[in-house]
Amino acid sequence: MQIFYPHSIQLHPHSFPGSDPNDCPRKMSKLKALIMNCNNALSPDLHGNYRVAEYTEKKHHWWWKANYVFHKLEVTKNFTGLVLFLEEDVIVAEDFLFVLYKMQKFAKKLCAHCNIFSLGSDLGSLKSDSKRDDNAYSKVQYAAWSSEQHAVAVAFNASTWSEIHTCAQEFCTYDDYNWDKSLEHIGETCIKGGLNVLTVKKSRVYSTRNGSYLNMSKAHLELSSASELGQLYPTTLKLSRSILKAATQQPIEVIKSGDWSDPRDHRLCLNSAYG
The range of the structural domain enclosing residue 233 comes to 82-247+257-274
Q: Residue 41: inside a domain, yes or no?
A: no
Q: Residue 69: inside a domain, yes or no?
A: no
Q: Residue 51: inside a domain, yes or no?
A: no
CB 138 within 8 Å of CB 157: no
Q: Residue 11: inside a domain, yes or no?
A: no
First to last CA, the chain: 23
Q: 2-51, pLDDT tens digit by residue? A: 999 999 999 999 999 999 999 999 999 999 999 999 999 999 999 999 99
Rg (CA), the chain: 21
**Side-chain-side CA neighbours of residue 13 (13 Å):** 1
- For residue 126, the model assigns a pLDDT of 47
**Mean pLDDT throughout 61-77?**
95
Q: Residue 270: inside a domain, yes or no?
A: yes
The answer, yes or no, to whether residue 262 has pLDDT greater than 50, is yes
Q: Residue 43: inside a domain, yes or no?
A: no
Could you tell me the CATH number of the domain that includes residue 203?
Answer: 3.90.550
Q: Give how many domains the chain has, as a whole number.
A: 1
Lowest mean per-residue pLDDT among 104-118, 149-163, 235-249: 235-249
Q: 1-14, pLDDT tens digit by residue? A: 999 999 999 999 99
Mean confidence (pLDDT) of the chain: 90
**H or E segment to which residue 60 belongs:** helix 53-67
Which band of pLDDT confidence, cut at 50, 70 and 90, is reported for residue 249? very low
- For residue 214, the model assigns a pLDDT of 75
Q: Residue 231: inside a domain, yes or no?
A: yes
Q: 167-211, pLDDT tens digit by residue? A: 999 999 999 999 999 999 999 999 999 999 999 999 999 888 766
Q: Residue 3: inside a domain, yes or no?
A: no
- For residue 251, the model assigns a pLDDT of 52
